[in-house]
Structure 1
Amino acid sequence: MKVVCTFLFFILTTFSLQAKDYPVSLFGIYSDGATLNTRSIQYAIDHIHQNGGGRLVFNVGRFLTGSIHLKSNVTLHLEEGAVLLGSLNPFDYDRHVWTALVFAENQQNIAITGKGIIDGQGRYLARNVITMIQKGLIKDQFRFDRPEAEARAVLIYFRGNQRVKVQGVTLKNSASWVQIYDQCKNVQLDGISVDSKAYWNNDGIDLVDCDSVSVTNSYIDSDDDGICLKSHDATKVCENIYVRNCTIRSSANAIKFGTASYGGFRNINMRRIKVYDTYRSAIALEAVDGGFIENVEIDSLEAINTGNAIFLRIGERVKGKKGRLENVRLTNIRVEVPATKADAGYEYEGPIEDMPRNVSPSSIVGMPDALVNNVTLKNVEIIQPGGGSASFANVPLTALDKVPEKPTAYPDFSMFGELPAWGFYLRHAQNIKFENVRLICQKKDYRPAVVLDDVKQASLTPMTISDPDRKKAPVFVNQSSGITLPGK
């Protein structure tokens, strides 16, 4: 916590410098929602940058634009009622690795502030990108009948910047990921709202190989992962990340590390998180591309109507490069898992899972030669629907090797198909501690609450298991050693 407080103090004191305000009207920027203002806005940014910095202030109105590039010491300030509106023409956007509405690369002291809105009009922009692909004017793989994520404009793409602030604004209707902070340092995201369910891949916040980031007091409603940490570069690390007092809804995972995990993640602290109507996991930590995850603490998370509680996974999607996942502490967690699809009814739902399959448990799964190490769960309550039936794809406890390893598969809580536990499945792990963990099953389930398979040194005490079927043993242990069970 001392480290967290130190870099958080630095971030919060970064933006104390006062600078001159420039109204957009000064530069002939129109608020009619029809005039394309790209060149005028860019001229204004360049002018402010060249004259010592300041705020470009957008008053009430709808300001249509294509790609703009933020420069050092410049703030885009959107007053309440101001909307920065993304063009519907795909050729109004630049592409620097990603296509984006607002770029900033290798800049310092940049910000987007205010109570206004950035609206990417993503549903219609994506439609127009598809039209241009079909005409042969845009080259794209067009997988899954949609353009690649990089070809659709994100709202914000900041790379290699230092001292960044985004505060108060609403970000909505992106055609792709909403906001990407890539190899940035000292980033403050505070009081922002994400409302992005316009198209596929609408990640709420993506932090890629960043150092010293705070995400506070924010609301994310997205059609893909809510707060997602990634590592795209095997030589980089996403580290010193602090998340507090945020609410998340997602048609994927609420909190996710990976899928891109080529470098690493360390020193991550998340507190006071609320999750609801989320299709996949409330917490998904995935070291599957050769990188590592270490020193993670998530405290005070409450999730309701969420498809899965906890998913920790080591994989080997890059041949010969196994991940590493260790030193994770999950405390004061409460999750309610429904029997039905948690994001049903949203325009872009998560996929229908392969059936038959009973509701998946939480899981901590490494590989035979790459064990998940040193994970503590303290004061955790998980309420599962139960109702599992052996008439589905039954996995006998005497044949746990039927559960596939899938080292190269895309990681997801349901990736293994039917699992032999209703509460927690642990495989290829060591030094696991459950302290005051409560697992509640609402209906009879043919499976035991917990299965441990190839687990070394695990203490599951004190733990409470509430299961309507009291006849079966609550915990099954296979090829494991050093296991301390409740009541033992």
Structure 2
Amino acid sequence: MKILPCLFILSVFFSNAEAQNKSFNIVDFGAKAGLQFSNSKAIQQTINVAAKAGGRVFFPSGQFVTGPIEMKSNVTLYLSEGAELLGSTNRLDYGKNDAKALISAKAQHNIAITGKGTINGRGAEVVKNLLLCLHQGLLEDETWRIKRPSENNRPRLIAFSNCEDITVKNVTLKNSAGWVQDFVNCNRLNIDRVTVESTAYWNNDGIDIVNSKNVNITNCNIDAADDGICLKSEGSPGICENVSVSNCTIRSSASGFKLGTGSYGGFKNIKVRNITVYNTYRSAIALEAVDGGFIDNVDIEGVTAKYTGNAIFIRLGHRNKTSQYSSIKNVRIAKVKADIPDAKPDAGYPLEGPLPKVPPHNLLPASITGIPGHLVEDIVLEDIEITYGGGASEKTANIPVDQLDNVVENEAGYPEFTMFGELPAWGFYIRHAKGISFKNIKLNYKTTDFRPAVIFDDVTSINLDNLQVEKGENPHQVILKKTEKVSIKNIKLPLNDKESVKVLQ
């Protein structure tokens, strides 16, 4: 398999408002520090004046409350150290239908948010006020009585659409009522050294990149009550293309780095380097195409996952109602070291991931799964070490190796690593795939597990080179069912006898 090189996205591409010299202090336009003042008009006026001249909107040290504000071309919001921009806690300030984001921009260019200050959406207080408005009949929402207020009713912190040449740098982003950063149909986006601390409410994705291209995300530290960094393809659909992520640390009540769930268009030329995922409920790496879109040319290298629910989850499904099927091909994941505990890895955080609505199951393996007739293709896994907590018991659940057809397909299910319920392997489970390469893979567990380490079911063109399984109680550690073109060399299994690799028809 040939992985095409991803395009490098360099900050030199950006000639944004950060480089402009003219500065406009919001205090000079009537803004006042203090929780009792609302500064929406003063801040917006400052932005409008700065847009005409091209320059910087300066926030001095202090707390400044505002409702929604709109960015304009050739403007930088600069929050000095000690400056805190606080979102209004009155939900009605964000409009009645489809809550406006605290900071928005539409079809603008050369815009930036920089400085060492903080933007705090005060999401918990906003949602509390939203619930009051819903009880009083001042707002409407279809889901709030059943689950929670919908995402459209909860203001995001930053929402830019159809914009070009964007920089978000050095700032701290806190406590959004919805997605923290949402970039839709944007081009040339640079996010660098941003800290996200957003566990105030559900659906607090740290960074969402939707149908955007030429994106560079570097040196960020993210703690989110939903996915950490998530690429989506939604709406009209477009694709996410030429996206680079590097040197980021992520904690999440969902997944660390994810492509999907929204996958109507596709994802192409995605590069990830040197990320750490910790205390994260779902997967460190999740690649999901379930709505008819594609994933092509993904190169991930250097992942440390500590106390995370799952290491690698790759899923091709068919959730959309049309005849268009998704595809996943040309993926390389290398230099991964993961620790998967026999415990809930995000326990104790303000908002934990929800317990799965599936029957009791044992600790789940990494997985690569397509659906019958639609295969995940050309996946290279190399230099990967995963240590599981173990603790599996046949009394909890058991799918014997002669009953592998009992694993549910769940073609239209929401893609997450628990979607199949119990799985019959503890290390890797691969089904409906073609062109799978394992090179220098080491699997281990700490206590006990009665299942085989690795299962291939309906897979062709398998290359196993230096697979090491450190422990194993099952006499069959590698199961090959309905497989063709299998190459095995330098394999190290606990029993090292002929039965350790079992072939099923």
Q: Do both proteins adopt the same fold according to a TM-score greater than 0.5, normalized to the shorter chain?
A: yes
Q: How far 1:33 sits from its partner (Å)?
A: 2.2
- How far off its partner does 1:486 sit? 4.4
Matches within 5 A, 1:286-297: 286-297=288-299
User: What 5-or-longer segments of structure 2 have no aligned partner?
Assistant: 492-505
Q: How does 1:426-441 map to 2 (within 5 A)?
A: 426-441=430-445
Q: 1-side partners of 2:85 and 2:112: how far apart?
A: 15
Aligned CA distance change for structure 1 residues 484 and 209 (closer, same or farther; 3 Å):
same
Partner of 1:80: 81
- Matched to 2:128, the amino acid is R
In structure 2, how many angstroms separate the alpha carbons of the residues matched to 1:325 and 1:97? 33
Are residues 55 and 96 of structure 1, via their aligned partners in 2, closer, same or farther at CA, if it must alter by over 3 Å? farther
Find 2:246's aligned residue among 241, 244, 247.
244
Closer/same/farther in 2, CA of residues 14 and 56 from structure 1, 3 Å limit: closer
Q: Which residue of 2 aligns with 1:479?
A: 482
Q: Which residue of 2 aligns with 1:55?
A: 56
> Match of 1:458?
462
For residue 174 of structure 1, what is the amino acid of its counterpart? S
Deviation per CA, 1:99-149: give whole Å up to 9, x if none.
310000000000000000000000010111111112221111124431101
Find the counterpart in structure 1 of residue 125 from structure 2.
124
Q: Which residue does the alignment assign to 2:497?
A: none
Task: Write the distance in 1 (CA, Å) between the matches of 2:232 and 2:354.
Answer: 22
**CA deviation profile, 1:426-445 (whole Å, cap 9, x unmatched):** 00000010100111122221
Secondary structure of 1:146's partner? coil
Equivalent of 2:196, from 171, 184, 194?
194
Distance in 2 of aligned mates of 1:55 and 1:27: 14
2:157 partner amino acid:
L
Separation (CA, whole Å) in 2 of partners of 1:412 and 1:11: 36
Whether 1:38 and 2:9 are equivalent positions in the alignment is no
Unpaired runs of 5+ in structure 1?
Answer: none
> Deviation at 1:253?
0.2
Q: 1 CA distance for matches of 2:397 and 2:100?
A: 43
Report the residue type matching 1:410 in the other structure. Answer: Y
- The alpha carbon displacement at 1:484 in A equals 2.1
Aligned Cα RMSD in Å? 1.5
Letter in 2 for 1:240: N
Equivalent in 376, 381, 391 of residue 377 of structure 1:
381
Q: Report how far residue 393 of structure 1 moved.
A: 2.2
> 1:392 deviation in Å?
1.9
Amino acid at match of 1:436: N
Identity fraction in percent: 45
8 A contact 2:16–2:74 mirrored in 1: no
Q: How does 1:362-373 map to 2 (within 5 A)?
A: 362-373=366-377
The one-letter amino acid paired with 2:306 is: I
The Cα shift of 1:18 comes to: 2.4
**Deviation at 1:9?**
4.9
Change (3 A) 1:12 1:43: closer
Give yes or no for contact 2:68–2:93 (8 Å, CA) kept in 1: yes
Report what 2:326 is aligned to: 323
The residue matched to 1:329 in structure 2 has which SS? strand
State the secondary structure of the residue aligned to 2:462: strand
1:391 aligns with 395
Amino acid of the structure 2 residue aligned with 1:33 = L
Moved more, 277-286 or 38-47: 38-47
Work out which of the residue numbers 348, 352, 356 in structure 1 matches 2:355. 352
Task: Tell me the distance in 1 between the aligned counterparts of 2:391 and 2:117.
Answer: 47
Q: Secondary structure at the match of 2:418?
A: coil
Asked whether the 8 Å contact 2:452–2:472 carries over to 1, the reply is no
How high is the TM-score relative to the length of structure 1?
0.97
* Amino acid in the other structure paired with 1:135: Q
The within-5 A match list for 1:140-159 is 140-143=141-144, 144-159=146-161
Q: 1:485: Cα distance to partner? A: 3.0
2:409 maps to 405
Q: Cα 1:427–1:487, aligned 2, differ >3 Å: closer, same or farther?
A: same
1:313 aligns with 2:315: yes
Letter in 2 for 1:62: Q
